[in-house]
């Protein structure tokens, strides 16, 4: 009964491919996020959704397209993968958007070769 | 925009030593403050939080006090253990940073037996 689960945990793919990462939360939260963690462990917000609506798109290339089919799911699709996309991607959720803590998934380590 | 600055690591301590990791923030409004911990190969876990000035968050022997006058939220533990070895992130949410957590760069702590 994992609170925030994302799949896959590891993803190795070639440049130019398209891939998706799935995320689900069973906490009943309204807000979901995607964060990118680079090789130096720096965490940066990519997208924020509230009740299935996109709220934040933090200057992420158009190749990244999030989709929220319902409040409990936020998937990330990446087109035309590049070497620089290699990172750990974290999904997270929070009860609301106004200063409550976020719960994180285990991360997806994406390696583009 | 809002930002978080935390002391750069790595920090290396012997078991039972005293730990301080400094964190200061810049924010509009009145954000909530958090410390998250990331153990090797895992996602982020909330360690402690404080939602208003002078609140003290505590968990597992760690504590931090929300100091509005110095815009700080320093993490302390009186006696660290080998199992505390991890990356620690200071973060804020709310205030001017709704719909996202803004993280510091993380501090790697290694505790030797």
- What's the confidence (pLDDT) of residue B4? 95
The Cα B85–Cα B33 span in angstroms is 22
- State both tokens at B37: 């911990």
Q: Are B47 and B64 in contact (CB under 8 A)?
A: no
pLDDT for position A52: 87
Q: What is the pLDDT of residue B15?
A: 97
CB spacing of A99 vs B93 below 8 angstroms: yes
User: With contact defined as beta carbons under 8 Å apart, do B17 and B80 qualify?
Assistant: yes
pLDDT beyond 90 at A108: yes
Cβ pairs bridging A and B (under 8 Å): 67
B46 touches chain A (CB under 8 A): yes
> CA of A31: which chain B residue's CA is closest?
B99
Whole-angstrom distance, CA of residue B65 vs CA of residue B8? 20
Q: What is the pLDDT of residue A2?
A: 74
Structure tokens at A62: 């158009």
Task: Write the DSSP symbol of residue A71.
Answer: T
- CA B59 – CA B36 distance, rounded (Å): 11
Cα distance between residue B23 and residue B34, in whole Å: 10
The DSSP annotation for A80-112 comes to S--GGG-EEEEEEEES-SSSPPEEE---EEEEE
Do residues A30 and A55 touch, judged by C-beta distance below 8 A?
Answer: no
Of residues B43, B101, B105, nearest to A107 (C-beta): B43
Tens of pLDDT, residues B33-75: 999 999 988 899 999 999 999 999 999 999 999 999 999 999 9
Q: Closest-CA residue in chain A for B96?
A: A98
Question: What are A3-15's pLDDT values in tens digits?
Answer: 999 999 999 999 9
pLDDT digits (tens, 9 = 90+) for A55-89: 888 878 999 999 999 999 999 999 999 999 999 99
Chain A residues near any Cβ of chain B (below 8 Å): 31, 33, 35, 40-45, 48, 50, 55-56, 58, 90, 92, 94, 97-107
Q: Is the pLDDT of residue A1 over 70?
A: no
Mutate to test the interface with B, among A99, A100, A101, A105 (most CBs of B within 10 A): A99
Distance from C-alpha of B75 to C-alpha of B48, rounded to nearest angstrom: 9
């Amino acid at each position: 009964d994992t609170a925030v689960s994302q799949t896959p945990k590891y993803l190795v793919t070639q440049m130019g491919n398209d891939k998706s990462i799935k995320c689900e939360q069973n906490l009943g939260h309204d807000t979901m996020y995607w964060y990118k963690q680079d090789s130096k462990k720096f965490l940066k917000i990519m997208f924020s959704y509230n009740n299935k609506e996109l709220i934040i798109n933090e200057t992420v290339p158009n190749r990244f397209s999030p989709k929220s089919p319902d409040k409990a799911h936020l998937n990330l699709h990446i087109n035309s993968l590049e070497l620089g996309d290699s990172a750990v991607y974290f999904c997270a959720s929070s009860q609301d958007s106004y200063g409550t803590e976020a719960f994180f998934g285990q991360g997806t380590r994406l390696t583009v070769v | 925009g809002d930002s978080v600055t935390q002391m750069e690591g790595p920090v290396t301590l012997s078991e039972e030593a005293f730990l301080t990791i400094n964190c200061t923030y810049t924010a509009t409004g009145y954000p909530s403050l958090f410390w998250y911990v990331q153990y090797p190969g895992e996602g982020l876990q909330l360690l402690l939080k404080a939602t208003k000035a002078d609140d003290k968050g505590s968990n597992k022997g760690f504590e931090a006090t929300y100091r509005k006058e110095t815009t700080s939220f320093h993490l302390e533990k009186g006696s660290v253990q080998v199992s505390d070895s991890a990356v620690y992130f200071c973060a804020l949410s709310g205030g001017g940073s709704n719909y996202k957590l803004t993280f510091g760069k993380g501090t790697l702590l290694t505790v030797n037996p």
